[in-house]
């Protein structure tokens, strides 16, 4: 009997060892990096690809209207300074979050829009995840559709490292890090779903579960709630650092905004 | 704010089967949800959608609370004559929105 127990426990250990070996696989090599678009059903992919079926287009159109709308005591619209977004905003979202010299830290696209509102338009900042802010961000980001993600790393090493540290840090009651799923076990099944590589190529995106368009930070907060961790506040340095690291990690992948995800 | 995206071919041959697609911006609030204070959120959905081809009804749909926000409708009809295709939908508030598109049939 004792021998049986011993051999059973040996078998268990033998089964666990490869799992442990798979841990700390590190960053996904460039040749295997790909958008989670490929994990979606053909129906959801068709929905994203057809502009007239992609509900994210409704937000793009809203953003286009807001771009032209005068706001604040300066009575200036985005277009008054930046003219045609199709030209001036091309490739911008693929470079964000970007370093803001005046603040000495990276800011994401939503923060950049709000900085512009406060300083140039003299208008109150838009609330995180408000229809207006999400629509404007979607409109700006969609101008980079198809362009490769290219974060400027110069002077940002410290912040990218901070984001990576957060990505690899275990947290929440489940005591899991982002990296354990999305670096080490992507492509495998978690409760019937394929674990995605989690590249933020299509944000802001239309999530069927949300029945609306939301930001990357909204998605990150969802993930943290899933880990039973306290989510970081919208616009907090932690969330921006995570966003920055995720964009750095997805460098080279083409933007899909507005993407559709289940 | 954008109300709807309508996709109807501008031109078609007589007898062709054409696809009409409509994506309507709408919350489709089911009426079964509650806000943070426990108060019920009243139902607010599109309950009827009609397509008129030169005044003749070619497609009609009744919508229910189980249909998701921003409903997408796609259906086919036969291009019979040049004219106007009108899409109209009615919400729980009783208001009807209409969007028109011209089609040339040769």
**Domain spans, chain A:** 31-41+148-261, 56-142
> Which residues is B87 bridged to in the sheet?
B51, B99
Q: How far is A58 from chain B (nearest CA, A)?
A: 6
Record: contact B21-A61, CB cut-off 8 A:
no
Domains and CATH numbers, chain B: 4-105 (2.60.40.10)
Q: Give the architecture (CATH level 2) of A56-142.
A: Orthogonal Bundle (1.10)
What ipTM was estimated for this complex? 0.88
CB A202 within 8 A of CB A228: no
Is pLDDT of A238 > 80? yes
* Chain A CB within 8 Å of residue B33 CB: no
End-to-end CA distance of chain B: 35
Question: Minimal CA–CA distance to A111: which of A207, A256, A236?
Answer: A236
Question: Minimal CA–CA distance to B8: which of B89, B70, B86, B95?
Answer: B86
* Chain A CB within 8 Å of residue B41 CB: no
Record: contact B7-A52, CB cut-off 8 A:
yes
CB B92 within 8 A of CB B45: yes
CB B43 within 8 A of CB B65: yes
Read off the pLDDT of residues B48-81 as tens digits, 9 standing for 90 and up.
999 999 999 999 999 999 999 999 999 999 999 9
Rounded CA-CA distance A187/A38 in Å is: 11
> Which residues is B103 bridged to in the sheet?
B83
Q: Answer yes or no: A223 catalytic.
A: yes
**CATH number for the domain formed by residue range(s) A31-41+148-261:** 1.10.760.10
Question: Minimal CA–CA distance to A242: which of A138, A132, A168?
Answer: A168
Q: How far is B7 from chain A (nearest CA, A)?
A: 7
pLDDT confidence of residue A221: 96
Is pLDDT of B35 > 90? yes
Read off the pLDDT of residues A147-164 as tens digits, 9 standing for 90 and up.
999 999 988 999 999 999
Per-residue DSSP letter, A95: G
Interface of B with A in 53-92 (CB under 8 A): 68-70, 72, 74
Is pLDDT of B102 > 50? yes
Rounded CA-CA distance B12/B15 in Å is: 8
Read off the pLDDT of residues A71-123 as tens digits, 9 standing for 90 and up.
999 999 999 999 999 999 999 999 999 999 999 999 999 999 999 999 999 99
pLDDT confidence of residue B24: 95
pLDDT confidence of residue B72: 95
The number of residues making up chain B comes to 106
């Amino acid at each position: 009997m004792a021998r049986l127990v011993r051999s059973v426990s040996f078998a268990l250990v033998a089964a666990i060892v490869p799992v442990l070996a798979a841990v700390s696989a590190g960053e996904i090599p460039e040749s295997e990096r790909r958008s989670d678009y490929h994990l979606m059903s053909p129906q959801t992919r068709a929905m994203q690809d057809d502009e007239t079926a992609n509900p994210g287009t409704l937000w793009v159109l809203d953003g286009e209207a807001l771009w032209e709308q005068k706001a604040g005591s300066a009575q200036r619209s985005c277009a008054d300074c930046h003219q045609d977004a199709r030209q001036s905003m091309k490739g911008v979202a693929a470079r964000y979050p970007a370093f803001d010299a005046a603040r000495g830290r990276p800011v994401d696209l939503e923060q950049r829009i709000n900085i512009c509102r406060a300083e140039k338009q003299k208008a109150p900042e838009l609330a995180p995840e408000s229809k207006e802010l999400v629509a404007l961000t979607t409109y700006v980001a969609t101008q980079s559709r198809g362009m490769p993600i290219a974060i400027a790393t110069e002077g940002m090493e410290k912040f990218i490292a901070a984001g990576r540290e957060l990505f690899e840090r275990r947290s929440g009651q489940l005591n899991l890090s982002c990296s354990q799923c999305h670096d080490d076990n992507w492509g495998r099944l978690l409760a019937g779903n394929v674990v995605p590589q989690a590249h933020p190529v299509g944000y802001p995106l239309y999530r069927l579960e949300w029945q609306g368009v939301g930001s990357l930070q909204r998605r990150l907060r969802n993930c943290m709630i899933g880990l039973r961790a306290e989510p970081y506040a919208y616009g907090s340095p932690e969330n921006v650092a995570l966003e920055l690291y995720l964009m750095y990690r997805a460098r080279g992948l083409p933007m899909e905004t507005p993407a559709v995800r289940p | 704010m954008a109300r709807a995206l309508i996709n109807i071919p501008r031109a078609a041959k007589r007898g062709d089967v054409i696809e009409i697609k409509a994506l309507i911006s709408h919350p489709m609030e089911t009426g079964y949800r509650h806000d943070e204070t426990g108060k019920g959120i009243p139902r607010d959905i599109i309950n009827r959608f009609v397509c008129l081809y030169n005044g003749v009804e070619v497609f009609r749909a009744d919508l229910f609370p189980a249909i998701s926000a921003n409903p997408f409708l796609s259906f086919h009809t036969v291009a019979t004559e040049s004219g106007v295709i009108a899409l109209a939908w009615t919400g729980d508030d009783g208001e009807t929105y209409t969007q028109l598109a011209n089609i040339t049939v040769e």
